[in-house]
Amino acid sequence: MSRKKYNSNHKVVLITGASSGIGRATAELLLQKGYIVYGLARNSEALQKIKGLRLIPGDMKDEKSLESAAKKICDEQGRIDVLINNAGYGLLGAVEDIPIEQARRQFEVNVFGLARLTQLVLPSMREAGSGLIINMSSVGGRVYFPLGAWYHASKHAIEGFSDSLRLELQEYNIKLVVIEPGLIATNFYKLAEEPLTRYSSNGAYSGMAKAISHNLSQSYRTMSPPSVVAHKVATIIESKHPRRRYLVGKLARVLFYTRYLLGDGVFEQIAKKQTR
């Protein structure tokens, strides 16, 4: 339908989880730079407050809404140049305490929703002979802390998924980049604290849960702003040869290199201090 739009110099970007935090900061920055930006999130009221954003209310657990989102953009623009898989949340609590249905929901949003939307976007990228997918992982996809098993598992899954998919897409000139944020000042920690308190604050792991909750609240004031990730996303989009991975924000590099240079033994001693 729109060859005219297809030849536009403005890249078409789809961001999931665009209503707050990293997603919102990224959407606002890319809009300032002149990109055509579509934002997908459940909170349509928050999306409406982002001036210039083309909003798509949707849920990462709802396959039909993902299908509608991909179709809407391709119908209106003729292609999707950049997919930013940003939507996700953290489920904190002891493995023994977390109901398995909550663990499944963690994977439905963080992994399977990401994977399904990627499947839906890839045909238009292959047809265009180019494209960029940015998967928002976490330094938690490479390191680990107690009471975060399900969250870490979902982010480790994104890392493996992304590496394999990158190899599949190379012959079609589609790039895949993983961003691994460290401590970023968003609602992530407040939302993650709720299941931590609900499931693990009164049982066998209560001491550990209270210590982690306290440490998170204390560190929030010194976390990096979401804008540091947004600027990194813009740099990646504008780069002809982006790297496979980017560590961004407070403690991302420190945590990564502590584990991989000093080993798991030293890293686990540091991780245990968060439970005291």
What residues are annotated to the active site?
Answer: 151
Torsion of CA 197, 201, 205, 206, to 10 degrees: 130
Q: Say how far residue 64 (Cα) sits from the centre of its chain.
A: 21
The two structure tokens encoding residue 126:
């292959």
Q: Where do the H-state alpha helices sit in the chain?
A: 3-6, 21-32, 44-48, 63-77, 100-107, 114-128, 149-169, 188-200, 206-219, 227-238, 252-262, 264-272
Residue labelled with tokens 């499947």: 119
- Buried/exposed 99-127: b ≥16 CB within 10 Å, e otherwise: eeeebeebebbbbbbbbbbbebbbebbee
Nearest to 247 by CA among 173, 168, 180: 180
Residue labelled with tokens 């002809």: 240
From residue 43, alpha-carbon distances to 27, 51, 56, 96, 231 in Å are 15, 15, 10, 32, 24
133 burial type by CB count under 10 A (0-12 exposed, 13-18 middle, 19+ buried):
buried
